[in-house]
Amino acid sequence: MRQAWLSELLLLVGLVIAALLLAALFGYFGWFMFAALLGFTFRHLYQLYRLERWLRVGRIRNPPESWGIWGDVFEHYYRLQRRYYKRKKRLTRVIREFRESTAAMPDGTLVLNNEFRIVWFNDAARDTLRLSTSRDLGQPIANLLRSPRFKTYLDAREFDHPVNVPSPIDDSRILAARLIPYGAEQYLLLVRDVTRIQRLQTMRRDFVANASHELRSPLTVLSGYLEALAEEPAMDGQWREPLQDMQAQCERMNTLVNDLLELSRLETEEGDASLEHEVDVVALLERIVRNVRIEDGARHDIGLEILSGAGLRGTDSELHSAFSNLVINAIRYTAADGKIRVRWYARPGGELAFEVSDTGIGIEEKHIPFITQRFYRINGSHSRSKGGTGLGLAIVKHVLQRHNGRLEVESIPGEGSIFRCVFPQQRAVYNASLASDGSILAP
């Protein structure tokens, strides 16, 4: 038994013995026993009063002193209080260091609550967004960054990537805003001025577009002369092969220029693809597969599998470019007599998927994160020999971004690859339809 409880028991026993002795001397056993128990109860009530008063007046540093079980109670509470003060001091230091570190950051930093209202901001955010402590604390951030793209960003609650918005104090400047969830439904908003980067990217896109346009005219002239020379009956036989090589290189340059122009246009387009236009994906895929079969000349087994009659809300030309690039890549990197399957189907949850599978050379896993970068080649000599420009998957990536989709890639080297374009439910258009072979297309 602990010493404190033993002390309380000894006190009670002592009071009872004293009452018994007094009762033996003077009688009145009941009154003396009542007085003993009353004294014992009064001690506990008095200690409770001291504890309540100490808590009520603000818990001064040192608790009341006592002995027995109440001494232990006061001592335990004192230890809890010391632990609390140490934890509070540590948290205060952490908060102070956090605010000092974020205040020193060159990027604007704001702390938002679960309603996206401003709780705190650093000096860089004050300068970037022209904030005022007295006016803007507690304000919804959407009231300060008034942009439809930012509102959509908040509503979607998908904060893996930043969103570009115009500056609220200067429309000519662009800010990159990114939310980082942390703690109990709190958010850290990072705001960075990316105007210079955007201008450099615009200059690069303009240069590529202008250079591509300028290259088109001489390439057209060269292609015309080479075609005329190749058809000339009097042409010496020894020049046939060099002319064919030159024609192939001109064709490759034309393809490269067209891809550069398409990629430049996609990068220049603002916002997502329109939701107003409906694309008949079934007819689009039938047209693509029919054309590639003609160009392929039956060298590959190309199959089309339509499992859904759904269409997409978006841009027909962009979807045609993305889908045809994936099919052409599958043909390009699959040996003759290989199998290529094109599928269109609905996934659980309402998503729609366009899928191209092949039995080609495959891709090592280490390359997959980088294959959508422009001019990225796993095997440069192999790509050039197949007529690849290194821009096809970059075009696919930008088309999917404009249609709120994503690209999934599965590949085993030496066995083949699967490229899958997945589109969200809000892009889907469901309607009853028939395939060209008459089979019913179920949404």
Here the CATH number for the domain that contains residue 302 is 3.30.565.10
Assigned domain for 430 exists? yes
* Percent of the chain predicted with pLDDT > 90: 14
Do 324 and 415 lie in a common domain?
yes
- Any domain includes 264: yes
Does residue 64 sit in the same domain as residue 173? no
Q: pLDDT tens for residues 380-412?
A: 545 555 556 678 888 888 889 888 899 999 998
CA 126 to each of CA 44, 79, 245, 314, 431: distance values in angstroms, whole numbers, following the listed order: 58, 43, 62, 39, 52
Could you tell me if residue 273 is inside a domain?
no
Of the candidate ranges 47-61, 209-223, 298-312, 315-329, the one whose mean pLDDT is the lowest: 47-61
Residues 125 and 202 in one domain: no
Residue 227 or 353, more confident: 353
Q: Is the pTM of this model over 0.95?
A: no
At residue 61, the pLDDT reads: 62
pLDDT number for residue 437: 40
Domain that holds residue 408: 278-441
Task: Assess whether 286 and 394 both reside in one domain.
Answer: yes
Confidence of residue 272 (pLDDT cuts 50, 70, 90): confident
Q: Which amino acid belongs to residue 107?
A: D
Q: How many angstroms separate the CA atoms of 367 and 417, rounded? A: 13
| Residue 298 burial (10 A CB sphere; 0-12, 13-18, 19+) | exposed
H or E segment at 114? none
User: Model confidence over 2-35: pLDDT tens digits?
Assistant: 776 777 777 777 877 887 887 777 777 788 788 8
Between CA 361 and CA 411 the distance in angstroms is: 9
User: Are residues 189 and 211 both part of a single domain?
Assistant: no
Residues 207 and 114 in one domain: no
Residue 218 has pLDDT above 50, yes or no: yes
- Confidence band, pLDDT 50/70/90 cuts, at residue 270: low
Residues 148 and 135 occupy one common structural domain = yes
**Tens-place pLDDT, residues 406-435:** 999 999 888 899 999 999 988 988 864 434
- 284 shares a domain with 403: yes
Do 126 and 110 lie in a common domain?
yes
- pLDDT at residue 1, rounded to an integer: 44
Give the residue, 141 or 98, on which the prediction is more confident: 141
* Tokens of residue 110, six digits: 């704001």
Q: Does the pLDDT at position 290 exceed 90?
A: yes
Q: 16 lies in a domain?
A: yes
Task: Give the pLDDT mean for 347-360.
Answer: 91
Render pLDDT for 151-167 as a digit per residue (tens, 0 to 9). Answer: 888 887 878 788 888 88
What is the SS3 assignment for 313? strand
Phi, psi for 303 (deg, rounded to 5): -115, 145
pLDDT of 133 over the 70 cut: yes
Domains in the chain, number? 4
Based on the fold, state whether residues 433 and 358 are members of the same structural domain.
yes
For all residues of the chain together, what is the average pLDDT? 81
Question: Residue 186 maps to which CATH number?
Answer: 3.30.450.20
pLDDT band at 353 (very low <50, low <70, confident <90, very high): very high
Block residue for tokens 């115009």? 166
Tell me the pLDDT band of 343, cut-offs 50, 70 and 90.
very high
* Greater pLDDT, 408 or 84: 408
The answer on 421 and 325 residing in a single domain is yes
pLDDT for res 288? 93
Residue 116 located in a structural domain:
yes
Looking at 170, 193, 216, the residue that finishes a domain is 193
Contact 19, 40 (CB under 8 A): no
> What is the structure's pLDDT at 219?
78
Asked if 23 and 32 touch (Cβ cutoff 8 Å), the reply is yes
Among residues 128, 163, 193, which one ends one of the domains? 193
**Among the listed residues 278, 277, 319, 283, the one whose alpha carbon sits nearest the alpha carbon of residue 433:** 283
Same domain? For 24 and 63 the reply is yes
Can you tell me the distance from the alpha carbon of 271 to that of 424, in angstroms, rounded to the nearest whole number?
Answer: 16
Query: With b meaning 16 or more CB within 10 Å and e meaning fewer, what string describes 106-134?
Result: ebbbbbbeeebbbebbbebbbebbebeee
> Residue range 331-338: average pLDDT?
89
Q: Is residue 150 part of a domain?
A: yes
Last residue of one domain, picked from the residues 40, 63, 96: 96
pLDDT at 436: 40
